[in-house]
């Protein structure tokens, strides 16, 4: 089948999976030219096999809350593609989780993991469990119930989950504990583990730091210095806070952060002390970003996203489709020079189209946020070798991986006018490696 035919066929077969179709459409339309240069790909119906996950597990998770009520959630694991290594990708706990969202994330993850140059396939999982307002014990019981089913599908050389929205060190710890008990082995089956039991230094920081390193590589192509630049960040979770931390250390000004209820605006830039407050607010007290505005008396946009403020750089780091065509227009009117995505697919197709047309520096998540899974890959290496590297060693490797991903994007995304289409670059580079591996392994 031709690439475009595969897309219309997938639309017919999965009409109720809009996020999955959105991610697939973006990739297929950007790799089509390259794909058509290889008639053998069509003969092997490679694109269809690459778009449809290898397998999907879905299951009921029953657990008991603190009041003694029995709760039921849905759990999923999408094993998308393991042509270049074991399935690898995070677990998301959020009330919005469904099969379409996890299929889009697993599909994206396959390309991202290919870009890292490390031997990792793509996968993703999660549940519609909402951790907000739950006690520690409830979260623990839920994680154990989730793993009671998931454990038989994962393993250090089979499928290695990690964190994502709603899943941080606490949840990974509980899930790893249950895995260890069920499988009766202490192996690197999860990444993002605590440092005491096989975690890697710099893993919590890696996605945010990696995004900033990617941004620095992009800015360097136009001779732009990050110092003094105003950066609008969305989210206030793992990716957002470590993005902000690295930016502050480089002299940039972080003017916004947000959560699902609203945005704080600090025109002079958030200080290190204020960022520390946000970190504690979100990770220890599990509060709302509004409380920051009350504490420091800054502006708060209730129920709004950050994109209307004047900034030089935007780094969406919350969730998918959080930056639409109108937001993109506002950012461009306000003179934004770069958008580097910490979240997965945060910009809608219309927003992406506008960024590309304006020829600003625009980095899609699958390239810019690949630092997280890269350090997860390094955690896997450390676990199998039973060693641990210093923070400096891991950070140096992370910087070098992000530089390499940037180079691959430039190689495949350079345009006639000398600008780089990072969307095309990332998709083609990620695709070619997986495609060659699949061709070599036959039709399976
Ligand atoms: P966290 O759970 O730590 O933080 C998520 C943040 O996004 C919170 O501030 C949350 O607000 C906000 N958010 C979540 N859903 C929505 C929504 N529907 N609307 C508005 N805001 C929302 O997750 P991470 O920081 O780990 O992940 C953020 C993004 O980065 C995701 O897209 C994830 O897939 C991606 N990513 C994460 C990686 C990692 O290593 N953690 C690696 C690569 C990508 P609230 O508290 O109100 O829910």
In a domain, 400, yes or no: no
In a domain, 385, yes or no: no
In a domain, 416, yes or no: no
> Quick one: pLDDT at residue 116?
97
Q: What is the residue-level pLDDT of the chain in tens, covering all 444 positions?
A: 788 899 999 999 999 999 999 999 999 999 999 998 999 999 999 999 999 999 999 999 999 999 999 999 999 999 999 999 999 999 999 999 999 999 999 999 999 999 999 999 999 999 999 999 999 999 999 999 999 999 999 999 999 999 999 999 999 999 999 999 999 999 999 999 999 999 999 999 999 999 999 999 999 999 999 999 999 999 999 999 999 999 999 999 999 999 999 999 999 999 999 999 999 999 999 999 999 999 999 999 999 999 999 999 999 999 999 999 999 999 999 999 999 999 999 999 999 999 999 999 999 999 999 999 999 999 999 999 999 999 999 999 999 999 999 999 999 999 999 999 999 999 999 999 999 999 999 999
Please say which residue of 334, 368, 402 terminates a domain. 368
Same-domain status, 42 and 78: no
Same-domain status, 149 and 14: no
Is the separation of the CB atoms in 248 and 254 below 8 Å? Answer: yes
Q: Is the minimum distance from the CB of 86 to ligand 1 under 6 angstroms?
A: no
In a domain, 57, yes or no: yes
Same-domain status, 86 and 1: no
Is the separation of the CB atoms in 113 and 84 below 8 Å? Answer: yes
In a domain, 28, yes or no: yes
In a domain, 373, yes or no: no
Residues classed as catalytic: 124
Same-domain status, 232 and 260: yes
In a domain, 396, yes or no: no
Q: Is the minimum distance from the CB of 259 to ligand 1 under 6 angstroms?
A: yes
Same-domain status, 115 and 253: no
Please say which residue of 368, 395, 412 terminates a domain. 368
Q: Is the minimum distance from the CB of 342 to ligand 1 under 6 angstroms?
A: yes
CA dist., res. 238 & res. 167, Å (int): 10
Q: Report which ligand 1 atom has the smallest distance to the Cα of 206.
A: 40
Cα–ligand 1 centroid distance for 250 (angstroms): 23
- 53, 170, 394, 414 from 376: Cα distances, Å: 22, 16, 11, 29
Q: Report which ligand 1 atom has the smallest distance to the Cα of 105.
A: 34
Q: How many structural domains is the chain composed of?
A: 3
The residues, ordered by sequence, that sit 6+ positions from 346 with a Cβ below 8 Å of its Cβ are 234, 316, 317, 318, 319, 320, 321, 322, 323, 365
In a domain, 380, yes or no: no
Cα–ligand 1 centroid distance for 157 (angstroms): 27
DSSP labels, 141-178: HHHHHHHHHHGGG-BTTTEEEE-BTTB-HHHHHHHHHH
Same-domain status, 59 and 140: yes
Nearest to 89 by CA among 350, 321, 373, 336: 373
Q: Please state, as a whole number, how many other Cβ atoms lie within 10 Å of the Cβ of residue 36.
A: 13
Q: Please state, as a whole number, how many other Cβ atoms lie within 10 Å of the Cβ of residue 182.
A: 15
> Quick one: pLDDT at residue 2?
82
Is the separation of the CB atoms in 398 and 204 below 8 Å? Answer: no
Please say which residue of 368, 383, 398 terminates a domain. 368
Q: Which of 90, 130, 235, 398 to mutate to test the pocket of ligand 1 (most atoms within 8 A of CB)?
A: 235
Same-domain status, 181 and 108: yes
Same-domain status, 228 and 258: yes
Same-domain status, 167 and 105: yes
Domain of residue 432: give its range.
Answer: 1-52+424-444
Tokens of 295: 């504490």
Q: Is the minimum distance from the CB of 319 to ligand 1 under 6 angstroms?
A: yes
Cα–ligand 1 centroid distance for 367 (angstroms): 17
Same-domain status, 263 and 288: yes
Same-domain status, 81 and 48: no
Phi, psi of 410 (to 5 degrees): -65, -45
Q: What is the CATH number of the domain that holds 102?
A: 3.40.50.10860
Q: What's the whole-model pTM score?
A: 0.97
Is the separation of the CB atoms in 126 and 76 below 8 Å? Answer: yes
Same-domain status, 223 and 325: yes
């Amino acid at each position: 089948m031709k690439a475009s035919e595969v897309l219309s066929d997938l639309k017919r077969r999965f009409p109720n999976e809009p996020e999955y179709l959105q991610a697939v459409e973006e990739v297929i339309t950007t790799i089509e030219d390259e794909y058509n240069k290889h008639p053998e790909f069509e003969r092997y119906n490679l694109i269809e096999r690459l778009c449809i996950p290898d397998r999907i597990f879905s299951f009921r998770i029953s657990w008991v809350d603190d009041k003694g009520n029995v709760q039921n959630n849905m759990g999923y694991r999408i094993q998308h593609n393991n042509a270049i290594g074991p399935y690898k990708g995070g677990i998301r706990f959020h009330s919005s989780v469904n099969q379409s969202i996890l299929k889009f994330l697993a599909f994206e993850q396959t390309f991202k993991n290919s870009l890292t140059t490390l031997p990792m396939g793509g996968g993703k999982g999660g549940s519609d469990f909402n951790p907000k307002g739950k006690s520690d014990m409830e979260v623990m019981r839920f994680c154990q119930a989730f793993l009671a089913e998931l454990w038989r599908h994962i393993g250090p050389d089979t499928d290695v989950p990690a964190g994502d929205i709603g899943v941080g060190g606490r949840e990974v710890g509980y899930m790893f504990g249950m895995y260890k008990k069920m499988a009766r082995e202490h192996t690197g089956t999860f990444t993002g583990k605590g440092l005491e039991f096989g975690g890697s230094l710099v893993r919590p920081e890696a996605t945010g730091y990696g995004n900033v390193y990617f941004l620095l590589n992009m800015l360097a192509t136009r001779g732009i210095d990050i110092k003094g630049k105003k950066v609008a960040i969305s989210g206030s979770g793992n990716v957002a806070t470590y993005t902000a931390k690295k930016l502050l250390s480089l002299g940039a000004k972080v003017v916004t952060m947000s959560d699902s209820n609203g945005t704080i605006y600090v025109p002079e830039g958030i200080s290190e002390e204020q960022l520390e407050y946000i970190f504690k607010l979100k990770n220890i007290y599990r509060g709302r970003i509004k409380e920051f505005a009350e504490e420091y008396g800054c502006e708060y946009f209730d129920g709004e996203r950050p994109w209307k403020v004047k900034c030089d750089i935007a780094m969406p780091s919350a969730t998918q489709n959080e930056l639409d065509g109108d937001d993109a227009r506002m950012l461009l009117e306000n003179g934004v020079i770069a958008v580097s995505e910490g979240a997965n697919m945060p910009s809608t197709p219309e927003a992406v189209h506008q960024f590309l047309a304006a020829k600003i520096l625009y980095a899609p998540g699958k390239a810019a946020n690949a630092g997280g899974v890269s350090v997860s890959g390094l955690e896997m290496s450390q676990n199998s070798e039973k060693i641990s590297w210093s923070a400096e060693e891991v950070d140096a490797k992370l910087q070098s991986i992000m530089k390499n991903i940037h180079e691959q994007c430039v190689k495949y995304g350079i345009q006639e006018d000398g600008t780089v289409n990072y969307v095309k670059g990332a998709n083609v580079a990620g695709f070619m490696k997986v495609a060659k591996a699949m061709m070599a392994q036959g039709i399976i």
